[in-house]
Structure 1
């Protein structure tokens, strides 16, 4: 696995999700950096069919630092995420059904609109497969693991055109095998070609903010035998993670969750806003639109919960 894959390992993020998100972002071209704005700061959620609409306070609390906060609005139609970047408000709207994502900058009354990767397939997947342009995927068997029926999948990541031109090797030296719980839509076990292993274990039901949720523990075993663990709290009714604890002590969670009637105004562009483009700098990364606040390109892994994914994820 090359440097890109090692970065996923260093972050203790299971490679299929991490790499799929990183490669998916690259496939989006000039908008890849803006797509991940805010994704790494907070636990994120994507709309799920049959899940109730809700709003919540989003918390990102790195160890030894002041927590960052935002607010999310989620319904079947899409998701709205309000947060601040360098003291300036930003609103991110994702509409999977329209394959559209918007970034709104209220102080400037401008917004960016771009074609969105089908995030719903990443955040609420029927299978563990990344997008076809990212990897090849096939189901090989059905087995029983920990008393539950699981699907066995083989994933082989594609060589990206830019890597071919640069003479880089594929991000994985061979196929990754995944044992997939189709009911809960979670990878119970992931075996990597270098000998690494990721396992996900249900620890039971717990209370989170007055809601009954499932506590899952993820253990990543590196090829040298070293292990790291993270925890996720999954809300079956909302069909999303509501809390995550990373190995370094970082906590991302939803608090003050309220079930509400969905409001189409969450996802509309307010009157008086002007649409601007997102030009490309010479290095291929997106430049900031005229009038938009300066938002730095996210660091590796910040979009994990798109998978998670991460995230979102958020899953």
Structure 2
């Protein structure tokens, strides 16, 4: 097999695992944490069914494009080299370290560094909208609900909340896939045939099964460290808000954005509002947790920029 194809498939497999482990767990994290009593394979089958619908719909309606048009400004490389498999390797290391890095910046910028400004503007906007929305919602709209949730924990949630939470997860998971499939399929031709589609689905489903089996891995701690996210009722509200914000930015433009930054912004605004409302912890302690999350995201951005601009230079130096 041509070495270019080796790099292409290795990059795709590495990206599939590292992106699902890092970004998807931020999306499915509340679902996992609030359904710990259920078998992992039941949760995996549910998430997999949504994934299949999203995959096949885009592929059939967009002439083989699985990324919903988000790779229009990211041309397929004429020459696949080792440079392109470094970002998912770095992402894998950061994920295992529990760092919620933006896969959008880390993966996509190496393919088209000139797009980083547009992605940064959209991602910062996403963080800001999520942060402000969360403060407003949790400070005013859901204050009484959250108070009830915190003071009346359920050993087993009522069926209506289970139904709502699974609906919110399906909605959020589909919106995340539409946004972030570009980060995975950037390694494959922009229009894949049926055999390539089945191959990619098989790879992602198997890797996703492993991540569900280990209950989310290190990134899951970002979710469980936040107030009451194990409560299925609180998790439902988080997921609906997150999904609606992603839907808003999906309609804004086809430029890829960091869903990680939206996620961190949402949790940050939520924690500030809940701390202010219920004094469940010192505001200073909350600030430390949120600063730590933001610092990790910023560190990931710095690493992404270094990789995007440094690797091509290093490749040229080695090739001489």
Q: TM tier, shorter chain?
A: under 0.3
RCO (CA 8 Å, sep 6+): is it higher in 1 or 2?
2
Q: Would you tell me which structure has more strand in proportion to its own residues?
A: 1
Q: Would you tell me which structure has more helix in proportion to its own residues?
A: 2
Q: TM (normalized to structure 1)?
A: 0.22
Q: TM (normalized to structure 2)?
A: 0.21
